Amino acid sequence: MIIDTLNNASKYYNLHPNFKKAFDYIYENDIANLTEGIHEIAEGLKAIVIIGEGTTKEESIKDFECHDKNIDIQISINGPEVFAWKPREKCSKPNGDYNDEKDVRFFHDAPDMFFQLHKKQFAILYPEDVHAAMIGNGILKKIVIKVKI
């Protein structure tokens, strides 16, 4: 997992061939006014704009998840937004089977930690990062960029 600000995004371009394209999409668009839903960026790269009511830690960790085929770049448009996190290697309580169509697997494990993202901060979450999001008060808006591995 990586946590940083958009001002430092270029430091991570070399970690995946599509990271530069992902962050270019953020820089080239008025992210505060992007409409909710899925926006195709390029082959193997899409942005999902999510607007929703913040939830409690207890509610959020019901969807404690990770992905096998995608890296998430989660960017806070307004917040703060709190995330739960735990390394996948320490998770031992699966919550159902892997859903290949949605590229998601869930766990019943308790998070090891919580962290907070503010406006124009991001987290890069790899398949080994089990996470839950949308913890906060009021309406939260974010972009999740799915980067196919």
Closest CA to 41 of 57, 62, 65, 23: 23
Please determine, for residue 141, whether its predicted confidence score (pLDDT) is greater than 90: yes
**Could you tell me if residue 27 is left (phi over 0), alpha (psi between -120 and 50 degrees) or otherwise beta?**
alpha
Per the CATH hierarchy, to which homologous superfamily does domain 2-148 belong?
YhcH/YjgK/YiaL (2.60.120.370)
pTM over 0.85: yes
User: How would residue 79 be classed by pLDDT, with cut points 50, 70 and 90?
Assistant: confident
Q: What are phi and psi of 90, to 5 degrees?
A: -95, 0
- In this predicted structure, the answer to whether residue 65 has a pLDDT above a threshold of 90 is yes
User: What is the three-class DSSP state of 44?
Assistant: coil
Which tens digits make up the pLDDT trace of 100-136? 999 999 999 999 999 999 999 999 999 999 999 999 9
Confidence of residue 96 (pLDDT cuts 50, 70, 90): very high
